[in-house]
Amino acid sequence: MNRISAFHRNSRVAQVALLAAVWFVGNLISRGLGLPFPGAIVGLGLMLALLLSGWVKPTAVRRGAKFLIGEMLLFFVPAVLAVLDHAEWLSITGLKLFAAVLLGTLMVMLGTAIAVDLSYRWWVRHAAVR
């Protein structure tokens, strides 16, 4: 038993397989119950429950999780090639899209940072004073 868990703790492949298995079960649950969320999200909740309950130790998935999250660009780069079908973005539409992303991101960052800064100051004054 100990040998198996030591192997699992050191094997990135086994850890990725465990995360994939949880994803698979999440898919079964999502489809079986007709949930409005995909299996990946159900799997995320399931994995969190397994960690919180202590059934799965964080060391049993840490290496696999770091790999999947760290190399995520490889897994989504195929979809980015969708630009091949959009030569029209080399025109004014592309500029508009760029401006929408630039201005929108500016607003998101400004709004988020200010909201968090103000609510954090509020939190320090009220919640933390005890």
Interface positions, 87-106, toward another protein (CB under 8 A): 93, 96-106
How far apart, in whole angstroms, are the C-alpha atoms of residue 22 and residue 28?
A: 10
- CB of 6 or CB of 97, closer to another protein: 97
Q: In the set 6, 28, 90, 108, which binds another protein (CB under 8 A)? A: 108
Residues from 41 through 60 that contact another protein (CB under 8 A)? 41, 43-48, 51-52, 58
Q: In the set 13, 22, 30, 34, which binds another protein (CB under 8 A)? A: 22
Length of the chain: 130
Q: Is 33 in the site for another protein (CB under 8 A)?
A: no
Q: In the set 1, 80, 125, 129, which binds another protein (CB under 8 A)? A: 80
How far apart, in whole angstroms, are the C-alpha atoms of residue 43 and residue 26?
A: 4
Q: In the set 34, 79, 125, 130, which binds another protein (CB under 8 A)? A: 79
Least distance (Å) from another protein to the CB of residue 78? 4
- CB of 3 or CB of 58, closer to another protein: 58
- 83 to 72, 78, 86, 90, 102: CA distances (angstroms): 19, 10, 5, 10, 18
How far apart, in whole angstroms, are the C-alpha atoms of residue 104 and residue 90?
A: 21
Residues from 58 through 77 that contact another protein (CB under 8 A)? 58, 61-62, 64-65, 68-69, 71-77
